[in-house]
Structures are given as structure tokens and as C-alpha cells.
Chain A
Amino acid sequence: MHEPVVYVVDDDQMVRESLEWLLQSVKLPVRLYEQGMAFLEDYTPGTPGCVVLDVRMPGINGMDLHRMLRERDPDIPVIIVTGHADVPMAIRAMKNSAFDFIEKPYNDQHMLERVQAAISHHRDVQSQKEESVLLSERFDELTPRETQVMQAVLRGHANKRIAADLGISIKTVELHRTHVMSKLGLRTATELVRLAIKAGIETP
């Protein structure tokens, strides 16, 4: 796994450098960008970390850059910084799923906390995604009939109903259930439901 990076986009050199100075003091790698386009060109989706954007910039402003970034990588958290915030701007930012909206001048502690929170959030999101991929691979081991039975179980149907729906005997249903549970390493139906949700399996 890569080390998380904080991407700072601000047209003001001094502000840019000071943020770098602050973030480096907590051992966070920082990459500085003067313009939004330069950042977009340089950024590889999926890279862990977070983005700190200034709203007021020449060329592409912070809000536009945020929107464009979301299209390429919806997961990376974006912290929007503004010198003069107004409510409509904040609402817009949050609707665009900004991680946070910070007003200048800000408390350096707060900024660091939010950046770290964003990074850990990103990390969580990314690990969750990886886990569900692994889980869905385990579900893939089930036979079609076993999958049918499992889906009926997830819907909360009793064995008698499942047998009637599928046109098989209750005994056969019980046998399939046992195979499903043993393949997924589960004991109860409750565990099955939890695992299915984690793996992102749709319950029809």
C-alpha cells in the first residue's frame, strides 16, 4: 500500500509553502500545485491521501476543480479552503461531497486533524472496497443452486417455502444450506446476512 499524500492546490505561493511546512511537521508527504489543471494532469486516481483546494484561484477555481476531480476519482476526500465563505458556497461544496469546508484563517490544529481524518477516511474506504472484493470471490465458489437457496435465505424465506418455490424437497434445501454455510465458514443465518451486506451482494 502506498503512503498517503496531501495534494495542496493554491495560487498563493506563500500559503502553499506554509501549508507544506505545517503538514510536513506531522510527517505528511505533501505535493504542491499552483493551478488546478496541473494537479489534474499529475494526479492518478486511487492514490491514497487527500486534496486541499483553495476556492479562489485564477483559471479553474476550487469549486470547479472539485467537481472535475469527482468525475475522475469519487473517493479521494477533498477539503475546501476559503478566505470568505458564504452559505451557498458551503452548501454547494458539501453537495459535491466535499470532505470538509474550512475557513481561513484557520486553526492549524484543526486543519491537521481534518487532513488526517480525511486520509484515514480514504484509507477506510479503500480497505472496505478491497474486503468486499475478497468476499465476493468467496460467494463466487457457490453452485448456482446453492446461490439460489442462499438468496432465498437472505430474503428470509423458510425452508418449506424455498422447497416449494424451487420445486425441490425440504431435505434437499437443508442440504444446500449446509453446503453454503460450510463453504462461507458461517454458522447462523444472521452471520450470512452480515457477510452478504459486506460483500455488497444485492438482495433481490
Chain B
Amino acid sequence: MTLRKFWSILLMCALAPTALAETVYIGALAYRGADEALARWSETAEYLSWRIPGYEFVIRPLDLTSLRDAVAAGEVHFVLTNPGHYVMLEAEHGATRIVTLQALYGGKVYTRFGAAILARADRDDLKTLQDLRGKSLMAVAEQAFGGFQMAWRELAAVGIDPFKDLRGLRFAGFPQDDIVQAVLDGEVDAGVVRSGILERMVAEGKVPPNRLKVLNHQHVAGFEPALSTRLYPEWPMAKVRHTSERLAKQVAQALLAMPADDEAAITSRGTGWTIPLDYSPVHELMRELRIGPYEYLGQVSWRDVLREYGVIVVLTFALVLVLAAATAWIGHTNRRLAHSQAQLARHRDTLEQEVGRRTRELRRVNVALERDIGARRRAEASLHRSAMALQRLYEISVAPDLSHEQKLTRLLRLGREHFDMESALLHRITDTGLQLCASDGDLGQAKAVAGCLPRMGSDVGPIEIHPPPGGRCAHYLVGFPVLVDGERRCLLAFVGHLRERQPLEALDRELLRLMAQWIGAEMARQNAEDERDRHRAHLAKVGRLTTLGEMASGLAHEINQPLTAAANFTSGSLRRLQEDQPDLDGVRTGMGKALQGVQRATDIIRHLRDFVTTGVPEREPFDLHASVQRVLDLVSPEARRADVALDTGELARGGIRVVGDSIQIEQVIMNLVRNAVEASPAGGTVCIGSAREAGLARLWVSDSGGGLGVDDEERLFDPFYSTKADGMGLGLAISRNIIEAHGGRLTARQNNPGACFVFEIALSEES
């Protein structure tokens, strides 16, 4: 086993699982038996398998006939055969040579070969080819190219037909050495062998030198072996018709690249391969001998002529026929042409009419199309407007800073502008009728359309009233009922003057529905919030009651004090009256003090009632500064008496609108200002200031008194906690309750000197 064989087997083993190699058959002419052919070409097959991955090349040794059949049947992909046989396969089956063998003999490389006609050197009667007439000749086989046919051509050239003009023609087959031996032995007069055989036998010592001579000895430069014939290209490797060009190219490249010392080259008795040579000399030989593809040239007959010139004959005949037919056709066509012209004229007239008709049709279609485009444009504009309105509706509904009322107002304005109306109205549906609760635009219309609205009350879908002029309601009106928690609670309406108006489009109706839906949802939310606020106020009240329970002991003490005092004064007075000479003035004083005690108890109880009944405050917008002024009007006499100045310099410019119960807020302000005045020393100042900040109004009252007087400011707001000698400790507690019921807060801080009380409540949304 050669090294490559080893490697290729190894490679095949390695590749076997992944890629099954495709088998390529090379038909090799086994002119000396299958074994010889395998021995000669197997290495070449190995070489190709190694060089061309994915293919496994296999040699199929075949004789001339089998090889021809195999090619015909497509059983082989490549052919290795002699030039004569190749030419036959080329002619009959389209085989194509791809490379030509470089043969080696006598230590020299030849790509061409010929044949030698040998005779014994001592045969003086045999000098030229002519001398062979009537003599016996031995060759390899009738089909053997180098072994017979080459010599046949030369004999034929000198007018000798080897099959007729010889005494005997014997075919000895292989090995050709036997033929040489037969000539040596005198068995035959002459023998035909391939060029190079003689030299080899001489070199091997099988034939003594100069014992044989070459007839018709040819001298060709560079060709050393004895030669009697012309030279012909060596064996080719040919692809058959069905073999792919790609594979053929790969094989050719591989063979051309085969080194001279390669095992495959050596066993093939050559030095590798060269580009395919010209095989026309082989063709000439065959033609001359009328063998192989030219066998038919043997008998010239009509059939032969037809075979040789048939195409020309048939073409000529056909041409004549065609010319005759053409002449007849032209005549006929002329007649038809005249007829067609007349027809054409008629068609033209029809066509003109048709064109006119189609033009009119097109014009009509165009007009309709333009109308369509206009409508579509309008629809697009309307769509755009609706989209804008929807966008604004969305923006309003998600605006974080807007209150419910602001959102509602903006929505009404949006709708009014979108529907091009003079006013937008939102009515609440009540048992007694409709009640306007929000509006935008011309409010006068609300009254004007009041008569029309009840008619809409029962509808649940979009409402559109476009009454004829002179009717009860001379306005154009669109509306939509507002459902709150599934019930018709309100009526959204947009009212405008009667004028040319398009009826509501589907998109507008949808927008109307969305607005009503939004208002409904917003109202439901508002209701929920109101409910929550009420609940919160209720909780605060419960909280106050709880506080009341906790302060029961304090309360008892506070009320007991004045009552006890009153009882004591009364009792003391009574005892004085029972004396013999009662001190009536003293008794009067005592009774006065008793009355004070009773009043004090009454005051406590009244304040207590105020404290407990501080319920949900009225919520009306009012001017905080106006409240401050009213309080100052009431307090200023007291302040003057105490020699305390009231400074309003810190009040914010302009009014501050707040929402709440103005009376309660004034109570708080009054309480704070009076406390401040009482706390201030003579010559002191009480400052009242205000500010707006983040939706809140802030109001503060500061004094120049002794400060809070406690560590814990929160204690100040406990009921019945007081730092004043005659304070009841309810003022600040009640004030804080009021402010908290307004959703605000009241705080105290040390003000150095003095104290400062601050409360914050919500600004009115209109400010």
C-alpha cells in the first residue's frame, strides 16, 4: 500500500460518516486483460480520489466492445482508451478528450506514438512496404490502433490492401512481444507493433540488436524509437457526454498537475498528463481506411450521397417550394389588402364615434371624481377638526392643575367652538325642570332656549334641533343627555343662531357623546368626592365628640367653678339678708357676683355648643381681606383702650378670594386678633398679614406680647387650656376646628417677641 492509499483510506474513513463520496467510473480499455488495465490505472484512480474530495474514482477495465456499450449506456463517466477508439467514441457518443497521456519509454517522454513494421534484418527481399505484397504479416488485432491500423494506413497508401494483397494476415493479440518473436523466428515475414516495443525488448535482451529492421523507416525529429508510420497522439482521457464539465475540469486539472514521479504516473507507464492533443490525424486515418466512424465511406451510394449531402438537397427543394408558395400568397395578400383598407376606413369612423363617446363619459367621471375629492377633502378636514377636538378634550381631562369647574368650563368652551355655537349650557335635570349649572359663551341664550330644552329631556342619544324660522325656538341646538351612574342627570347643549349649517356628522355626534360621557364621569367622581368630604366632616365631628368625652372632667371643673361661685355668693347674700340689719349694698355686690358666675357658666355652655356644632361650613367664595376689615372694625375700640396698634401693612396687595364660611372665618380672625391685643403690652403692635401660595391663602396675626408661654404649642389648642387669667381655653380650640373643617390648618409659633398664629385655607378657584 502506498502512502497516499493509506491517507486516502484514512480520509475516506474520516469523511465516510459525514459525506458519502460519489463514485466516478473510469472505463479503461483492457486491451491486455482486466488485471493489466487495473494495474496500470488503479493508481490514477486513487490519485484522483485523493485530489478531488467528494468523489471516489473507480477503474472499470473493459474491452473495446464493452467499453463502447458502457459509454453508450452512460455507465462510465470517463474513458481511458487508445486514440482510434476514442475517435470512434467521440463521433458516436460525444466523448471529449480532456487530457493526453505523456508516455515514457526508453527513458524518454512522448505524447505521440506510431507503429513499427518489423522484418528480419537478413530478409533482403523486404526493403520497402511494396515488398510486403504477397508476404505474410502479423499484427495485434484488426481493431488495434497502434498494433495494426496505423500500419494499414501506410500499406493502403502504397496500394496494398492488407486483407487482399498479402499472403497471410494474422492477428496475434497481446503481448506484442510474441509478434516480435514470431518475426525473429521467421514464422511471419513481417510484424506490426507499437513504436517502442522493439527498443524495450532489445533493452531487455529479448531481442538481439540489429536482428530486426524497420520497413518504411520514418525519421521524425525528437522521436527516437523505430517508426514505420506517421505519429499519432497518445491515449487520451475523455469525458463522456453526461459527465459534468465541472467534474471534467477538476479531473483534467488534477491529472495535469500529476507529477512525473507520482506512483500513478509510473504505473500508467508515463510521466503524467498534458493538454489534449489534436486527434485529427486519427480521424484522417479512419477516413482513409473507412473504418470506425467512416466505415460508411466504404460504399458510395445514393444513400451515401444523401447522408453526405442530404441536408443541402432537402434545403434546396424546400426553398423552391417556399418560393412558389410565397408568390401565390403575395397575390392573395394584395387582394385582401384592398379589402382591408375599405374595412379600415369603416373601423376608423366607428372608432372616432367611440372616442367621442368615451371622452364624454370620461368628462362625466371626472366631474364626479372632483366632487368625490371635494367631499373627501371636506371629510378629511372634518376628521382633522374632530381629532383636534378630541386631543383638546383629552388634554383638558388629564390636566393636573385644573379643578373640576375649570375643566368643565373649558370643555364647554371647546364644544362651543367646535360646533361653532354662541353658547354652551349644562343643565341639571331636576324634578321641577331644568336648572342651569354651568355655561360658556352667551348666557342670554340660556333663557332664549329654555322653552326648547324640556323637549330634549327624554332623549338618550344625540339631539339636534334645527327648527324652521318663526318657530318657538329660533335657535339651532345640539345636545346630549349626561348620564351619571346610569341615570340621566344633566343635559349638555350647544346653542347657536339659525344660519346655514351642515347637519351633525357622525364624528361630531361621537364627540358630543364623548363630552357628555366625560361630564357624566366627572360628575360621578365629584359626587364620590363630595360623599367623601361629607364623610370626612362627619368623622371630624365624631372626633370632636370623642375629644368632648375625654375632656369631661375638665368640663365639669370649668362649669362647676362658676356655678359653685354663684351658689356661694347667693347663699352668702341670703345669710346677710337674714341679719337684723342687713348690709344691703354688700348683698347687692354679692348678688352681682353670683350673676357673673351664672353668666360665665352660660358662656361656657354656649361656646361648648358652638364647638360641638361646628359642622360642615358653607362653601362660598369671599374676600378674605374684607373679612379682616370687618374684624378690625369690631376690635379697634378695644385695641385703642389697650393702647395697641393694629398694623395691616403685611396684607397682600389686591383681594384674596377664598372659599368657605365667611362668618366662621371671621370668628377665627376675631379670636386671633383679640388674643393678640390682650397679649400685647400697652404701646405694642398687632400685625395682620396675608399671602397667596400654591392654591392656598395664608393669614397670620402676630403680637408683641409675652409669647406663647408654653413649651408645647399644641397644648394651646386643647379645649379649656388657657394661659389667660380669665380665659376659658376654648377660643383657639374652636378656631382650629373651624379652620380644619375648611380643609386648612392653624398653627402657632414663637415670634420673638410675642407669638404668631397662622392659618391656611384654600384659595377660590376663580382667583
Measured CB to CB, the residues of A under 8 A from B are 12-15, 17-19, 21-26, 56, 83-84, 104-106, 108-109
* Identity of the chain A residue whose Cβ is nearest the Cβ of B723 in the assembled complex: A58
1/0 per residue B608-629: CB within 8 Å of A?
Answer: 0000000000000000000000
1/0 per residue B25-58: CB within 8 Å of A?
Answer: 0000000000000000000000000000000000
A84 to B557, CA, bound (A): 6
A109 to B590, CA, bound (A): 17
Task: Evaluate contact between A14 and B600: CB separation under 8 angstroms.
Answer: yes
Q: Which of B511-543 contact A (CB under 8 A)?
A: none
Task: Evaluate contact between A15 and B565: CB separation under 8 angstroms.
Answer: yes
- Which one of B150-158, B181-189, B570-578 contacts A? B570-578
Task: Evaluate contact between B564 and A56: CB separation under 8 angstroms.
Answer: no
Q: Which of B552-607 contact A (CB under 8 A)?
A: 552-553, 556-557, 560-576, 590, 593-594, 596-597, 600
Minimum distance in angstroms from B718 CB to a CB of chain A: 14
Provide a sorted-by-A list of 13 A–B residue pairs whose CB atoms are within 8 angstroms. Answer: A13-B725, A14-B597, A17-B593, A18-B567, A21-B572, A21-B573, A83-B556, A83-B557, A83-B561, A84-B553, A104-B560, A105-B563, A106-B567
A13 to B600, CA, bound (A): 13
A18 to B471, CA, bound (A): 85
Q: CB-CB < 8 A to A22: which residues of B?
A: 568-569, 571-572, 575
User: Given A17-B593, A83-B560, A84-B553, do A108 and B571 touch, yes or no (CB 8 Å)?
Assistant: yes
Task: Evaluate contact between A14 and B561: CB separation under 8 angstroms.
Answer: yes
* Identity of the chain A residue whose Cβ is nearest the Cβ of B596 in the assembled complex: A14
* Identity of the chain A residue whose Cβ is nearest the Cβ of B600 in the assembled complex: A14
Can you list the 9 inter-chain pairs with the closest CB atoms, starting with the nearest? A18-B568, A108-B571, A25-B575, A83-B557, A18-B565, A21-B572, A83-B560, A22-B572, A104-B560
Minimum distance in angstroms from B566 CB to a CB of chain A: 7
A83 to B561, CA, bound (A): 8
Q: CB-CB < 8 A to B573: which residues of A?
A: 21, 25
Q: Which of B563, B571, B594 has the most CB of A within 10 A?
A: B571
Minimum distance in angstroms from A26 CB to a CB of chain B: 7
A12 to B720, CA, bound (A): 14
Minimum distance in angstroms from A149 CB to a CB of chain B: 58
Q: CB-CB < 8 A to B593: which residues of A?
A: 14, 17-18, 21
Q: CB-CB < 8 A to B569: which residues of A?
A: 18, 21-22
Task: Evaluate contact between A105 and B564: CB separation under 8 angstroms.
Answer: yes
A73 to B560, CA, bound (A): 30
Q: Which of B675-725 contact A (CB under 8 A)?
A: 725
A19 to B725, CA, bound (A): 19
Q: CB-CB < 8 A to B568: which residues of A?
A: 15, 18-19, 21-22, 108
Minimum distance in angstroms from B6 CB to a CB of chain A: 117
A26 to B571, CA, bound (A): 11
A76 to B574, CA, bound (A): 29
* Identity of the chain B residue whose Cβ is nearest the Cβ of A104 in the assembled complex: B560
A13 to B596, CA, bound (A): 12
A108 to B573, CA, bound (A): 12
User: Given A14-B593, A18-B597, A84-B553, do A25 and B561 touch, yes or no (CB 8 Å)?
Assistant: no
Task: Evaluate contact between A12 and B571: CB separation under 8 angstroms.
Answer: no
Q: CB-CB < 8 A to B596: which residues of A?
A: 14
Task: Evaluate contact between A25 and B565: CB separation under 8 angstroms.
Answer: no
Minimum distance in angstroms from B574 CB to a CB of chain A: 8
Task: Evaluate contact between B575 and A26: CB separation under 8 angstroms.
Answer: yes
* Identity of the chain B residue whose Cβ is nearest the Cβ of A108 in the assembled complex: B571
Q: CB-CB < 8 A to B600: which residues of A?
A: 14
A13 to B725, CA, bound (A): 9
Minimum distance in angstroms from A4 CB to a CB of chain B: 18
Q: CB-CB < 8 A to A12: which residues of B?
A: 561, 565
Minimum distance in angstroms from A84 CB to a CB of chain B: 4
Minimum distance in angstroms from B715 CB to a CB of chain A: 13
Our pick among B556, B565, B571 for the contact of A14 (Cβ within 8 Å) is B565
* Identity of the chain B residue whose Cβ is nearest the Cβ of A26 in the assembled complex: B575
List 14 additional contacts besides A15-B565, A56-B557, A84-B556; criterion CB under 8 Å.
Answer: A13-B725, A14-B562, A15-B564, A21-B568, A24-B572, A25-B576, A83-B553, A83-B556, A83-B557, A83-B560, A104-B563, A104-B564, A105-B564, A108-B570
Q: CB-CB < 8 A to A24: which residues of B?
A: 572
A13 to B569, CA, bound (A): 13
* Identity of the chain A residue whose Cβ is nearest the Cβ of B553 in the assembled complex: A84
* Identity of the chain B residue whose Cβ is nearest the Cβ of A86 in the assembled complex: B553
A106 to B571, CA, bound (A): 11
Minimum distance in angstroms from A180 CB to a CB of chain B: 54
A23 to B576, CA, bound (A): 11
A128 to B510, CA, bound (A): 107
A159 to B663, CA, bound (A): 98
Q: CB-CB < 8 A to A18: which residues of B?
A: 564-569, 572, 593-594, 597
Q: CB-CB < 8 A to A23: which residues of B?
A: 572
Task: Evaluate contact between A105 and B557: CB separation under 8 angstroms.
Answer: no
A26 to B575, CA, bound (A): 8
Q: CB-CB < 8 A to A26: which residues of B?
A: 575
Minimum distance in angstroms from B620 CB to a CB of chain A: 41
A167 to B562, CA, bound (A): 75
Task: Evaluate contact between A25 and B572: CB separation under 8 angstroms.
Answer: yes
Minimum distance in angstroms from B582 CB to a CB of chain A: 10
Minimum distance in angstroms from A123 CB to a CB of chain B: 22
Task: Evaluate contact between B567 and A108: CB separation under 8 angstroms.
Answer: yes
A108 to B571, CA, bound (A): 7
A17 to B569, CA, bound (A): 8
A104 to B553, CA, bound (A): 12
A22 to B573, CA, bound (A): 8
Q: CB-CB < 8 A to A105: which residues of B?
A: 560, 563-564, 567
A12 to B593, CA, bound (A): 14
A109 to B574, CA, bound (A): 12
Minimum distance in angstroms from B723 CB to a CB of chain A: 10
A22 to B564, CA, bound (A): 11
Minimum distance in angstroms from B744 CB to a CB of chain A: 32
A12 to B562, CA, bound (A): 9
Minimum distance in angstroms from A105 CB to a CB of chain B: 5
A129 to B486, CA, bound (A): 94
Q: CB-CB < 8 A to B563: which residues of A?
A: 104-105
Minimum distance in angstroms from B728 CB to a CB of chain A: 12
Q: Which of B180-233 contact A (CB under 8 A)?
A: none
A162 to B281, CA, bound (A): 190
Q: CB-CB < 8 A to B575: which residues of A?
A: 22, 25-26
A139 to B556, CA, bound (A): 57
A158 to B667, CA, bound (A): 91
Minimum distance in angstroms from A156 CB to a CB of chain B: 54
* Identity of the chain B residue whose Cβ is nearest the Cβ of A111 in the assembled complex: B568
* Identity of the chain A residue whose Cβ is nearest the Cβ of B570 in the assembled complex: A108
A173 to B605, CA, bound (A): 81
* Identity of the chain A residue whose Cβ is nearest the Cβ of B574 in the assembled complex: A25
Q: CB-CB < 8 A to A19: which residues of B?
A: 568
Minimum distance in angstroms from A38 CB to a CB of chain B: 16
Task: Evaluate contact between A106 and B564: CB separation under 8 angstroms.
Answer: yes
* Identity of the chain B residue whose Cβ is nearest the Cβ of A23 in the assembled complex: B572
* Identity of the chain B residue whose Cβ is nearest the Cβ of A82 in the assembled complex: B557
A15 to B593, CA, bound (A): 10
Q: CB-CB < 8 A to B576: which residues of A?
A: 25
Q: CB-CB < 8 A to A17: which residues of B?
A: 565, 593
Minimum distance in angstroms from A103 CB to a CB of chain B: 9
A19 to B593, CA, bound (A): 12
Q: CB-CB < 8 A to B597: which residues of A?
A: 14, 18
A83 to B558, CA, bound (A): 8
Q: CB-CB < 8 A to B564: which residues of A?
A: 15, 18, 83, 104-106
Q: CB-CB < 8 A to B557: which residues of A?
A: 56, 83-84, 104
Q: Which of B562, B567, B573, B597 has the most CB of A within 10 A?
A: B567
Task: Evaluate contact between A15 and B561: CB separation under 8 angstroms.
Answer: yes
* Identity of the chain B residue whose Cβ is nearest the Cβ of A16 in the assembled complex: B565
